[in-house]
Amino acid sequence: MDLDIAPADEAFRAEARDWLAAHVPAVPLPSLETAEGFAAHREWERQLAADRWSVVSWPREHGGRDASLLRWLLFEEEYYAAGAPGRVGQNGIHLLAPTLFEHGTDEQRARVLGPMARGEAVWAQAWSEPESGSDLASLRSTAVRTDGGWLLNGQKTWSSRAAFADRAFGLFRSDPDAARPHQGLSYLMFPLDAPGVTVRPLGRLDGKPAFAELFLDDVFVPDADLIGAPGQGWRVAMSTAGNERGLTLRSPGRFTAAAGRLAALWHEMGGTAGTALGERVADALIGARAYQLFGYAQVSRLGAGGAVGAESSLTKVFWSELDLALHETALDLLGPYGALADGADEAPAHGSWADGYTFSLAGPIYAGTNEIQRDLIAERLLGLPKGRR
């Protein structure tokens, strides 16, 4: 792994830093988990896209800069270091788009990617169902063949930001007679305002309403919105899952920036070296740096023709536990003030530590629980026998 950054790549980093310095809002946007914040973040996506910063690694024809994965990592480091807003389009940009690049048609890429990059179409992930979370292959929602397309029926739940999003992508059982649960599934896109779709917001621990469950009653989806071949949805979905657990959803820059803010907070609070809290701050800095170096190594491996593979399970366990430990340390440093969320006048850092902690609680659960990821690590990376499930 070569850690020397070429002058051209440093110039790209400097251009990104300058743009962010000129455009990042001086006051944080409202939470994107609210209707007001969702609209503000959609506008931020439009600003990013106007100067091709929304999707830097995409081809230029779809709104990107044709940037290498290394440049994407550098951009992400600058993005989070600048305190730029969260990405309301991340489900589409980081999950659906890589799936379309690998399995979609030219027509689908031409139709879907541009509006996604500009924030005109924000996507929700409609995978989980009641009794089908980490055991995704047990899902029961159906896709039945009809003239010119498919009829979708069933229920999806815990769909992030579906309360305000425009469209969703998900897996449906299209062959109920398939020999195994992960066979006979199809991967389809659908609009959330289509006839037959009911979106019901779900309350969260922090009171914000952007989670939703979806009820589908004979929702018509044309053949043009099927990704991959009928019945091959599981193979397509594993492409999405690899991106979700790997680097793209939780890039290293997110954690190096947060660990840097934690160290600054520790100094601001008069932290003393050699204490238990000081050691936890040091652990967060070391963990973030280790994840950053892992990111550079993975980019080198992908650039040499490698694939994301089962290592994404390692990545997912690491970043989710790092995120939780980092925010728990921040709240312990802040004491009672750490409980103040956004909206409270005295909330430290506009409540970002409290909000970040609440979000980090979900990290070991979403994108496949860490228990499931540890099983995958044992079986696929260590070659251990399958456990009982």
Domain 123-231 has CATH 2.40.110.10: yes
For residues 158 and 173, which has the higher predicted lDDT (pLDDT)? 173
Residue type for 171, please? L
Section 9-34 average pLDDT: 94
pLDDT at 181 over 90: no
Strand-pair category, 185-191 with 142-146: unpaired
Section 287-296 average pLDDT: 93
pLDDT at 205 over 80: no
What string of DSSP letters covers 70-90?
Answer: HHHHHHHHHHHHTTPPP-TTH
pLDDT for the residue 247: 57
Cβ count within 10 A of residue 58: 24
Q: What is the pTM of this model?
A: 0.89
Domain ranges of the chain: 7-87, 123-231, 250-382
CATH number of 250-382: 1.20.140.10
The model's pLDDT over 231-270, given as tens digits with 9 standing for 90+, comes to: 999 988 887 766 655 556 678 999 999 999 999 999 998 8
Residue 169: which region, alpha, beta or left (left: phi > 0; alpha: psi -120 to 50)? Answer: beta
Closest CA to 42 of 166, 207, 214: 166
Residues carrying an active site annotation: 244
Closest CA to 367 of 141, 160, 78: 160
pLDDT at 342 over 80: no
Homologous superfamily of domain range 7-87: Acyl-CoA dehydrogenase/oxidase, N-terminal domain (1.10.540.10)
Residue type for 275, please? T
pLDDT for the residue 226: 97
pLDDT at 291 over 90: yes
